[in-house]
Amino acid sequence: MAKVNEDTFKGASFSFSNRIMRVVWSVVYLVFFKYSPKPLHAWRALVLRCFGAKVGKAVHVYPRVTIWAPWNLELHDECGIANGVELYSQGKITVGKRAVISQGSYICTGTHDYTLQGFPLYTKPIVIKENAWVAAQVFIHPGVIIGEGTVIGARSVVTKDMPDWMVCAGFPCKPLTNREFRD
């Protein structure tokens, strides 16, 4: 857990250079990313790499993915991130090989400590391991690890780590059954 500031009422949560980079990213996002044609995944991967993202081979990030800070992204080979996903990457987000994040999901690495005056901002990394599938409109809380091969059901709210090779769903999200493949 990384503490970003002491008091959100007295000053900015992030450094001046971070805020400038996010302004530059916002302009580049609007001009070169958001309105790029859907099939141009390699182009969007290049744009993300230019802003410090670690992007593997054959990654499919669609044009209407909202990304707060690409320099906090690590996207492994062949992962897919659908239109409408929000990657609120105040802290690091790692998406494993062949993992999929479906439409409307919100992956949130930032939170505030409401037990302290000034509500200091904290970031906690999120890891979505390889072969996992985060279905539509899932919310993932800061600090969560989604296990390898795990499926998170649509509209689930994930507040804690989910085990490998399970189907999980609910509010709060819980493991329901083993994930098995049929022949």
Q: Are 177 and 151 in contact (CB under 8 A)?
A: no
Q: Are 79 and 95 in contact (CB under 8 A)?
A: yes
SS3 173: strand
Amino acid at 154: A
**Would you state the structure tokens that stand for residue 50, as one six-digit string?**
């230019």
Whether 112 is catalytic: yes
How do beta strands 2-3 and 121-123 pair?
A: antiparallel
- The three-state secondary structure class of 37 is coil
Rounded Cα distance, 177 and 47, in Å: 39
Given 60, 76, 112, 141, which residue is catalytic? 112
Strands 166-170 and 151-152: parallel
Integer CA distances (angstroms), 38 to 34, 57, 63, 135, in order: 10, 17, 6, 20
So which residues are the catalytic ones? Answer: 112
